[in-house]
Structure 1
Amino acid sequence: MVQLDKEVLENVAWISGIGADPTGGTTRLLYDETWLEAQNGVKAKLEEIGMATKFDRIGNLFGRIEGSRYPNETIMSGSHIDTVVNGGKLDGQFGVVAAYLAMKMLQEEHGQPLRSLEVISMAEEEGSRFPFAFWGSKNLFNEAKKEDVMDIADFNGVKFVDAMRQAGFDFKKEDEAIREDIKAFVEIHIEQGNVLEMEQKSVGVVTSIVGQKRYTIVLKGEANHAGTTPMKYRKDAVYAFSKICSQSIDKARVIGEPLVLTFGKVEPKPNTVNVVPGEVLFTMDCRHTDQAALNDFTAEVEADMKQIAAEMGMKIEIDLWMNEPPVPMDTEIIDVLKKASDKAGVNYRTMHSGAGHDSQIIAPHIPTAMIFVPSIGGISHNPAEDTELPDLVEGVKTLAAALYELAYTE
C-alpha cells in the first residue's frame, strides 16, 4: 500500500509537471511540444514494465501485454493526455496513470494475463486548442473525418493539419479497419463534481453518461428610453428572459435529479443603464440520463418560451446546436466493478456522469464502464483541482480489481 501511495504521488506529479503553466496548473494542448513530451514519456514508462508500445497514425498511444490464452481478446483502460488551458493535475491524465499503475501491479502480482491488457493514452478529448473534441476516441472508430479538421486553426492561427504533421502524425488511411479485438474498456476519472465528497464515498461506479442539449436563444423586444416609456408599453427583453429563466428553473427543480438546467450566458442589448433592453441573447444547457425525459422537458421549456414571447409581443429565435444522446455503461462491467468493490470493502456508490468523457464515444462500439474518484470541492478544469491521495489509491485498486476479473479469469 505504501508503495502504491508513493507511485501514485510520483506519477501524478511527473505528468502534471509536463506543461506546468507559470500562472498555475498545467497547459498541454494537442500536438504541442509538451503534449509530445508527455506521450513519449508515457511510452517510455509502459516499455519499462515490458509493454509493447505503438502510436496510431493520429497520435493515440497504446501499451500492450499479450494474453497467454486469449491474445485476440483485449481489455483496455486509459483516458486522454491533453488538458484544458490552466487545467488541474488529474483530469484525463489520471486515467492514463491509473491504467499504467493498475496493469503494472497486476503483472507483478499475477504475471501474464489470460487476455491481453492494453493502456491507451488518447491524443485529445478537451477541444482546448482546436474547435474539435474527442479527436482521439473518435478516430478509433472512424467517426472523425478529415474534412472536419482540414480548415480549422488554433487561437494563434496554426492549422490543425500543420500542427499534426509537425508532431509527426497524419490522418488515418481511409481503408484502415476498425479493431475488433477490444472486448472491454474501463476508464477511471475524477468526478468533477462534489457528490462523492459530500456523501463521503471513495469511488463512484458510473452507470450512464448524460445526454445534453445546448441552445442559443435570442429574444427580440424593443429598445426604448428608460425614463419616458411607461411600464405598460415596454417590450423589455430582460424582463421576458427573467420570466423564462425563473419559470424553467422552477420546473427543473420540481423534477429533480438527474435533470439539470443552466442558463449560462446572457447578453442584453444595448446593455446600458438608461435604455430598456430591446434584445437578449442567452444560452441554455439541459442534461438528463434518459432521452425521452430530456426530450419532453426541453419541448415543454421551448413551448413556454414561445408563449412568454408571444404574450409580451416579442419575437424569439431558438437554435438547438448540440443534441447528444445519453450513453449507458455496460451492465456486465458495472456488475464486475460492484462485485470487486464489495469484495474489497470499497466505500462506493453508483451514479451517473453529468460531464462528457471519451467513454461516451467508445461505449456504443465496445462494452464500457467508468470509475469515479472524488473531486475536492467539486473543482475541475482549474489549478486547484485535487483528490485526496487515499481516494486516488482506492481508485487504482478498484480499477486493478476490475481488470483482474476481466483479463485474468475464465
Structure 2
Amino acid sequence: MDHLVTQVEENVNWLSSIGADPTGGISRLLYDENWLIAQKGLEEKFSEIGLKTSFDEVGNLFGRIEGSKYPTETIMSGSHVDTVVNGGSLDGQFGIIAAYLAVKYLLETHGQPLRSLEVISMAEEEGSRFPYAFWGSKNIWGLAKKEEVIDAADAEGVAFVDAMHKSGFDFRTTDEIRKDIKAFVEIHIEQGNVLETIGKPIGIVNNIVGQKRYTIKLDGEANHAGTTPMSYRKDAIYGYSKMVSQAIDKANKAGDPLVLTFGHVEVVPNTVNVVPGQVTFTMDCRHTDADALQAFTKEIEADMKATAAEHGLAIDIDLWMDEQPVPMSEEIVQALVAACDEKELDYNLMHSGAGHDSQIFAQFVPTAMLFVPSIAGISHNPAEATELPDLVEGLKALIASLYKLAYED
C-alpha cells in the first residue's frame, strides 16, 4: 500500500489547487466557477477508474460500479466539495478523495464487488455562499425546499437561482428518494484535537452531537460612568458577566461530552465612560444525549432569567437552532471496528462535536464516520492540516471498511 502515500498527496494537492485563494487557503463555493471545475474534474477521475458517473438535478456527483451479486444494494462513501471562504485543504474534499482512492484500490486489487460501490461528491454542506447549509445531502433525501432558497442571494447580490442555472443545474422535480443505499461511510478530518492528544490516527464516530444555539439580549440602562452610584445601576455587562461565569462553571462541572461556548458579544453604547445599557450575545451548547442537552440548557435559561431579575435587566432569549443528536448505526460502527481490528489499525471510538453530511444520511440509511487527526485541532482555516501518514491510515481504514461492507457475503 506504499503507493497510497503518493496518491493521497497528489490528489489533495490537485483538488486544493482549484479555488486556491491568493491570500492562502481555498475558496470554492456552491455554483461558482471553481466549484464547477472541481466537480467536472472529479467526474473525469471517477470515469477513468471505470465508474459510471452522473449528476443529479442540483449538482451532486456520483461515480458507481455495479455489484456482481447484489447490484441493488449500494455501499456509498464521500463528502462535500465546497469549502468555507478561505478554508483549508481537507475539510470535505478529503472525504471525496479518500472514497475515490479506496474504490480505485479495491477495484484494482479485488475486482468487481458483490454489492454496488458508489462515490459521492456532494454539492454543498458549508452554507458559505448562500444562507443555506446541507444543500447537497438534503436534496438527496428530499429535505431541501425550493421556497427556502428561491429568494436567496450571496454577498455580491447574485441570486441562488441564477448561480444554479449558470452552472447547468436546477431544482429537483421529484420527491422520490433512493431505496438502494445500504450503508454510507464518510471519512473526515476531526476538526478537533482529541485524536492528536491521545496519539491515535483513526477515529470511529458513534454519535454526532446535538446543538442548541441562542441569541440573548439584555436591556438595562445606559448612564454616566462617573455620576451613577454602583447601587443605582442597571449594568447589562455586569449581568452578562455573571450569567457567563455561572453557566461555564456549571458546564465544567457537567464535564464531557457537554460543551458550552459564548462566542459573540455586542455592547451598547460600547463607550469607556458610559454604563452599558444593552448587551446582545450568543450561546452554543452541544451534547451527545438529547435529554441531557435539554436539561442543561433549560437550567441555564432559568439561571439567566433569575440573574436578569436580580439586576433589574430585561432579557430576551431566542433559541434559533435546535438540532438533535444523531447516533450512528451500531451495525456499521461495528463493521468499521471489525475492519480496523482485522487490519490491526489503531483507532479510538468517539463522538463528533461538529455537524456533517452524515447526520442527514443517518436519518434514512445506516451511517457511520471515520476521523483522521487535525493538527492542533485547526479547521476552516488555511492552517488546517493533517500529517500525511495519518491521512493514509485513514484511507486504509476506509478501504478495509468498504471491503467488509461491499465484498464480503
TM-score interval, smaller chain: over 0.9
Shift of 1:345: 1.5
Alignment correspondent of 1:307: 306
TM-score (norm 1): 0.99
Q: Distance in 1 between matches of 2:57 and 2:363?
A: 23
Shift of 1:176: 4.2
Matched, 1:366 2:365: yes
4+ residue segments displaced more than 6 Å: none
Pairing 1:78-89 to 2, within 5 Å after superposition: 78-89=78-89
When the two chains are superposed, the root-mean-square deviation of aligned CA atoms in Å is 0.5
Matched, 1:134 2:137: no
Match of 2:351, SS state, is: strand
Shift of 1:340: 1.1
Identity %: 70
Shift of 1:24: 0.2
Q: Distance in 2 between matches of 1:25 and 1:91?
A: 11
Pairing 1:10-409 to 2, within 5 Å after superposition: 10-173=10-173, 175-409=174-408
Shift of 1:177: 1.5
Q: Distance in 2 between matches of 1:280 and 1:405?
A: 54
Residue identity in the other structure for 1:53 = T
Shift of 1:241: 0.3
Alignment correspondent of 2:6: 6
Residue identity in the other structure for 2:219 = K
Count of matched residue positions in the alignment of Structure 1 and Structure 2: 409
Q: Distance in 2 between matches of 1:206 and 1:314?
A: 43
Shift of 1:313: 1.1
Render the CA deviation track for 1:15-38: whole Å, top value 9, x for unaligned.
Answer: 000000000011000001100000
Q: Distance in 2 between matches of 1:26 and 1:320?
A: 32
Match of 1:201, SS state, is: coil
Q: Distance in 1 between matches of 2:135 and 2:71?
A: 27
Residue identity in the other structure for 2:22 = P
TM-score (norm 2): 0.99
Match of 2:234, SS state, is: coil
Shift of 1:2: 2.3
Residue identity in the other structure for 2:391 = L
Q: Distance in 2 between matches of 1:383 and 1:114?
A: 40
Q: Distance in 1 between matches of 2:388 and 2:281?
A: 40
**Ranges in structure 2 where 5+ consecutive residues have no aligned partner:** none
Match of 1:118, SS state, is: strand
Q: Distance in 2 between matches of 1:27 and 1:266?
A: 27
Render the CA deviation track for 1:346-368: whole Å, top value 9, x for unaligned.
Answer: 11101100000000011010100
Residue identity in the other structure for 1:381 = H
Match of 2:136, SS state, is: helix
Q: Distance in 2 between matches of 1:86 and 1:141?
A: 29
Q: Distance in 2 between matches of 1:179 and 1:218?
A: 44
Residue identity in the other structure for 2:233 = R
Q: Distance in 2 between matches of 1:56 and 1:176?
A: 13
Q: Distance in 2 between matches of 1:313 and 1:157?
A: 43
Q: Distance in 1 between matches of 2:267 and 2:84?
A: 29
Residue identity in the other structure for 1:203 = I
